[in-house]
Structure 1
Amino acid sequence: MLKIDTHSHIIPEHLPRFADKFGYGDFIHLDHHRPGFANMMKGDVFFREIEANCWDPQVRIDEYAQFNTQVQVVCTIPVMFSYWAKPKDTLELSRFLNDQLAETVANHPKHYVGLGTLPMQDANLAVQELQRIKEELGLPGVQIGSNINNINLSDSQFDPIWEACEELDMCLLIHPWDMMGKRHMEKYWLPWLVGMPAETSRAICSMIFGGIFDRFPKMRVNFAHASGSFLATIGRVEHGFNCRPDLVAIDNPNNPTNYLGHFWVDSITHDPVMLRYVMNKVGANRVTIGSDYPFPLGDLTIGELVDEMALPPMEHEFLYSKAALEWLGLEASQFLD
């Protein structure tokens, strides 16, 4: 059975020194300090160590084969978004990353699908790059952050991007980044354990309450990490909508539960009971296998949790590939011999 991992990250093996080129900023660069490993550096500050499976396409294919997974949807590491930079510089960085991504896909078309990145802080430049990603690079969608320099995705400045996504038939993966409250909870890895789930819920609530799904109903959106804390707190969200519509329903009169099943989420829950709950809420046809590969907080035994749940064949098929193909707007035949 075709198996597609819809959430994984990749980075070019060699990055230009963008900080030197642009003359400012803590742009990421790689320090290849030992064979098969590199330190990701934000300026002079260590961010994390990565291995060759973060950049080597064949290493990744071999590792995925251990889990009978043929196809990886790959996108940049969120720290690379660089929305804080001058828009033209983020555009140049995005173009570099997108070109590298397209080359990987072109060299391994049976194994890779690429999602580009955009200079989201400038809608005109973002739309320009979105068109290039579609028309020149042939990628089916993009990955964006859960907020753009602390501006929620419901803000009207992003409407041209959503409109372009519809017109170009491009899908979206929304990934948490730049977590709220990060500076106040560094200890215990809380930005990743608490902030990331909250960021994804922030993005979903913003888009629902801001009426984004109503104004752009054809836009296909997948939210990382099984929606973060959104589905786990949908009862509270709905209750808030009902009890304080003067605060919550000011831009959209529709109950937030009406949107369950409108968007996709990945399967990264690390808990079969929670994954079953997620499937019950949005439907198996809106859940895609995800791993967050190759990072340790991900579900790196790709699809094993789904296998252990002994799901009915139809649900298995949705999670393995059918839900992903519908979200991506692709056909299974392009990956099969």
Structure 2
Amino acid sequence: MQKIDIHSHFVPRGWPHLADAAGPGEWPWLRVDSERDAMIMVGSHEFRQIGANCWDADVRLAEMDADGVTMQVVSPTPVFFSYEKPGVQAARVARIFNDLALEICAAAPDRLIPFAQVPLQDPDAACAEADRAVANGHRGVEIGNHVGDRDLDDEGIVTFLQHCAERGIPVFVHPWDMPNSLRLDRWMSRWLTGMPAETHLSIIALILGGVFDRVPPSLRLAFAHGGGSFAFWLGRFENAWRERPDVVGVSAHPPSSYLDRFSVDSVVFDPKALRLLVDTLGAERVMLGTDYPYPLGERPAGAVVNRSDFLTDAQRSAILHGNAELFIGLGSRVEQERILLT
């Protein structure tokens, strides 16, 4: 059975000195430790150890083959978003990394599907870079789930989402820039608790901020990491919308009315959690994702989907590849419905 992984990341093995290319400031850079190992640095601080599977297409393709992955969406690593910088600087950085992504994916254009980053803090520049990237070969964009204190219901971000809906550009939302504190510095807690909470918060913002009431249903929108904690707490959300309309009842319809407006990936690591996603959103709204090549991702790809014996063959097929074909733009809604009904 085919597998399309909609959640993976890349890091080039090198890029121009960003202070020269984009302007003064503290920028990410790569400390190359060997032919196969490197460290992403931010200023003088170590951010993440990475390996050749981040930049070497041959290594990536070999590991895809080992996992039976047919195609892989290759998205930026969020540390490079540069949302805290002026828009003009972030736009220059986006161009650099988007062009480098095309170089990596050129090794297997039928299997490696590049998604671009954009300077989301500047709506006009974000729309322009999305158009430029798609014209050059990118198939969609990855954005962070917020820009500072601006969530996905911010007017500028809504303008960008409307633009993507009009142009048919799929948008993959990834949590990033989680809150930090002494409590969250232990045990990778920013990743273990902050990422699910960030994603949940941004889905709430889309609903209560009225974004789904304003953006066309044609927008193809997906969230990483199973949508965070959203599915588990939908009942609490729904109850609050009904019981406290003075505070929560902002959207035109109850939260559960918007479940067909977005998709999530399958990186939840446990069949019980995957079952909750399928029961809540429907199998047609869940797509295979791995967070490859990072250590908190799933290997082999699709392990949880394959272990989930509650899925029908049609549902498993949809999650492993059919839904992603629709999201990326390789298939049609009619074909997706045929798969689910088979």
Q: TM-score range by the shorter chain?
A: over 0.9
The amino acid of 2:270's aligned partner reads: D
Name the counterpart of 1:34. Answer: 34
Quick one: distance in 1 between partners of 2:181 and 2:128? 32
The amino acid of 1:211's aligned partner reads: G
Alignment length (residue pairs): 330
Where in structure 2 are the equivalents of 1:151-300 lying within 5 Å? 151-182=150-181, 185-216=184-215, 217-250=217-250, 252-300=251-299
Per-residue CA deviation, residues 258-307 of structure 1 (Å, 9 max, x unaligned), is 11132110001111011011111111111000000111111122001111
Per-residue CA deviation, residues 167-203 of structure 1 (Å, 9 max, x unaligned), is 1100110000011345652112110001000000011
Name the counterpart of 2:101. Answer: 101
Following TM superposition, by how much is the alpha carbon of 1:130 offset from its aligned partner in structure 2, in angstroms? 1.1
Name the counterpart of 2:78. Answer: 78
Quick one: distance in 2 between partners of 1:331 and 1:110? 15
Quick one: distance in 2 between partners of 1:218 and 1:287? 17
| TM-score normalised according to structure 1 size | 0.94
Structure 2 contact 9–292 (Cα < 8 Å) conserved: yes
The amino acid of 1:116's aligned partner reads: A
| TM-score normalised according to structure 2 size | 0.93
Q: 1:22 to 1:114 in 2, by over 3 A?
A: closer
Quick one: distance in 1 between partners of 2:202 and 2:186? 24
Quick one: distance in 1 between partners of 2:289 and 2:156? 30
Structure 1 contact 213–219 (Cα < 8 Å) conserved: no
Q: 1:325 to 1:50 in 2, by over 3 A?
A: same
Following TM superposition, by how much is the alpha carbon of 1:212 offset from its aligned partner in structure 2, in angstroms? 1.3
The amino acid of 1:153's aligned partner reads: L
Following TM superposition, by how much is the alpha carbon of 1:49 offset from its aligned partner in structure 2, in angstroms? 0.9
Quick one: distance in 2 between partners of 1:39 and 1:276? 37
- Partner SS state of residue 240, structure 1: helix
Structure 1 contact 292–300 (Cα < 8 Å) conserved: no
Q: 1:215 to 1:23 in 2, by over 3 A?
A: closer
Quick one: distance in 1 between partners of 2:316 and 2:75? 25
211-220 or 170-179, larger mean C-alpha shift: 211-220
Where in structure 2 are the equivalents of 1:306-325 lying within 5 Å? 306-310=305-309, 311-325=311-325
Name the counterpart of 2:7. Answer: 7
Where in structure 2 are the equivalents of 1:86-97 lying within 5 Å? 86-97=86-97
The amino acid of 1:143's aligned partner reads: E
Following TM superposition, by how much is the alpha carbon of 1:138 offset from its aligned partner in structure 2, in angstroms? 2.7
Percent of paired sites with the same residue = 36
Structure 1 contact 19–43 (Cα < 8 Å) conserved: no
Per-residue CA deviation, residues 89-129 of structure 1 (Å, 9 max, x unaligned), is 11011011111222333331121111100000101100111
Quick one: distance in 1 between partners of 2:125 and 2:183? 33
Where in structure 2 are the equivalents of 1:46-61 lying within 5 Å? 46-61=46-61
Quick one: distance in 1 between partners of 2:221 and 2:181? 26
- Partner SS state of residue 188, structure 1: coil
Name the counterpart of 1:335. Answer: none
Structure 1 contact 87–121 (Cα < 8 Å) conserved: yes
Per-residue CA deviation, residues 59-114 of structure 1 (Å, 9 max, x unaligned), is 00101111111111110101111101121111011011111222333331121111
Q: 1:21 to 1:101 in 2, by over 3 A?
A: closer
Quick one: distance in 1 between partners of 2:95 and 2:164? 18
Structure 1 contact 171–328 (Cα < 8 Å) conserved: yes
The amino acid of 2:68's aligned partner reads: N
Name the counterpart of 1:110. Answer: 110
Name the counterpart of 2:136. Answer: 137
Following TM superposition, by how much is the alpha carbon of 1:327 offset from its aligned partner in structure 2, in angstroms? 1.1
Structure 1 contact 117–142 (Cα < 8 Å) conserved: yes
- Partner SS state of residue 34, structure 1: coil
Name the counterpart of 2:340. Answer: none
1:43 maps onto 2:43 in alignment:
yes
- Partner SS state of residue 187, structure 1: coil
Name the counterpart of 1:148. Answer: 147
Name the counterpart of 2:336. Answer: none
Structure 2: gaps spanning 5 or more residues: 333-342
1:124 maps onto 2:121 in alignment:
no
- Partner SS state of residue 324, structure 2: helix
Following TM superposition, by how much is the alpha carbon of 1:20 offset from its aligned partner in structure 2, in angstroms? 4.7
Per-residue CA deviation, residues 115-173 of structure 1 (Å, 9 max, x unaligned), is 10000010110011111122x21322100011112211101122321121011100110
